[in-house]
Amino acid sequence: MTALPWRAARSAGFTLVELLIVIGIMALATAGVSLALRDTQQVQLEREAQRLAALLETARARSRASGVAVQWSLTEHGFQFSGLPANSLPSQWLSPGTTTTRLDVRLTLGPEPVIGPQQVTLVRADAPGQALRVATDGLRPFNVLANDP
């Protein structure tokens, strides 16, 4: 039996459309992998900053509700909220190595509804050059901001 000429040409290689489809699939897979590989130290620092902002707002609300002054400060093993009942809020960082740029930082969280502008800059010991600020202008809630050089 003899082969038809178009069948012989078909089995000789790939068409341009087939090659473009394969290249497109490879490009999408590469983009997906590169987006999935984020810097773990930066992710941990962002998580710590978001958590701290939420804890500071919780302590601020409790201070206003109770009328008792609350202050946040660093300790050897984490941080503390003075003025609140013991163990009412967490007092340790989620990941070891998290700290602030200034060890003597103290934030006053109330009981007045308007507090002065305050901020704390978080850093990680294993990620030099990465820092995030948790700050408020005294009226708005604490927010996470990029650390401006």
Q: What are the tens digits of pLDDT across the range 70-82?
A: 999 999 889 999 9
Residue 107: inside a domain:
yes
Residue 10: inside a domain:
no
Q: Say which CATH number the domain at 58 has.
A: 3.55.40.10
pLDDT tens, 15-72? 999 999 999 999 999 888 877 776 677 888 999 999 999 999 999 999 999 999 999 9
How high does pLDDT run on average in the chain? 87
Q: Quote the domain boundaries for residue 86.
A: 40-146
Residue 57: inside a domain:
yes
Let me know if 39 is exposed, middle or buried by CB neighbors in 10 A (0-12, 13-18, 19+). exposed
Compute the half-sphere exposure of residue 72: CA atoms within 13 Å on the CB side of its CA.
25
Strand 98-100 vs strand 106-108: parallel, antiparallel, or unpaired? unpaired
Residue 64: inside a domain:
yes
pTM of the model: 0.73
> What pLDDT, on the 0 to 100 scale, is given for residue 59?
95
Residue 47: inside a domain:
yes
Residue 33: inside a domain:
no
Sorting pLDDT into bands at 50, 70 and 90, what band is 5? Answer: low
Residues 118, 12: Cα–Cα separation, whole Å: 71
Residue 12: inside a domain:
no
Residues 142, 49: Cα–Cα separation, whole Å: 10
Work out how many domains the chain is built from and give that number: 1
Residue 20: inside a domain:
no
Contact between 127 and 45 (Cβ < 8 Å): yes
Percentage of residues in the chain having pLDDT higher than 70: 89
> What pLDDT, on the 0 to 100 scale, is given for residue 89?
93
